[in-house]
């Protein structure tokens, strides 16, 4: 099972959207406090639609609490940051890896990034754009990790029904 880790997320809509993505991919969501919202807020549930009750979510008091409760993450934890020198497509992600993203206003603290520099990854962007939306960034990196693992148990095929077109709308 893949793992998304949000360090001090601030916007309930982003976390709700990320939660929905986690449900759709069978991914566990880890939230590290402080959160910029309450987990029972309408905005988070609205963004997560009716999937929020299906979400596998864990909450931690701080970064050290997360590490203490997830020792298997050490050496299997990637840090998404605009400061990385390595592209998000370069690591060989394991099927049980952890992908961490920082809060919307500041990202992951510099001291965490410096201590884990070999595991820092970046999504390339044009020019001087500061960053992408958090929910979009999570989707990009998560789906690369899933692609590398042949999408695990995700359903790879839809069911397109062919309609007979008779030339009329």
Point out which residues pair with 28 in neighbouring strands. Answer: 3
Cis? peptide before 34, omega within 30° of 0:
yes
Point out which residues pair with 29 in neighbouring strands. Answer: 4, 57
18 is in an annotated binding site: no
Point out which residues pair with 78 in neighbouring strands. Answer: 99
105 is in an annotated binding site: no
123 is in an annotated binding site: yes
| Rounded distance between C-alpha atoms, residue 82 and residue 152, angstroms | 28
**Alpha carbon separation from 152 to 12, 25, 83, 138, 141 (Å, rounded):** 28, 9, 30, 18, 15
Q: Annotated binding site for S-adenosyl-L-methionine, which residues?
A: 102, 123, 131
Q: Annotated binding site, which residues?
A: 102, 123, 131
């Amino acid at each position: 099972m893949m793992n998304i880790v949000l360090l001090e997320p601030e916007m309930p809509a982003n976390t709700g959207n990320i939660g929905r993505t986690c449900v759709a991919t069978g991914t566990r969501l880890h939230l590290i406090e402080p959160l910029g919202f309450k987990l029972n807020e309408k905005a988070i549930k609205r963004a997560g639609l009716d999937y929020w009750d299906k979400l596998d979510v864990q909450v931690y008091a701080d970064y050290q609490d997360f590490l203490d409760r997830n020792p298997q993450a050490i050496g299997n934890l990637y840090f998404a940051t605009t400061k990385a020198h390595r592209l998000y497509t370069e690591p060989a992600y394991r099927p049980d890896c952890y992908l961490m993203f920082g809060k919307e206003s500041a990202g992951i603290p510099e001291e965490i990034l410096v201590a884990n520099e070999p595991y820092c990854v970046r999504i390339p962007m044009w020019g001087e754009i500061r960053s992408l939306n958090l929910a979009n960034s999570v989707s990009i990196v998560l789906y690369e990790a899933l692609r590398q693992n042949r999408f695990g148990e995700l359903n790879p095929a839809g069911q397109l029904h062919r309609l007979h077109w008779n030339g009329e709308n």
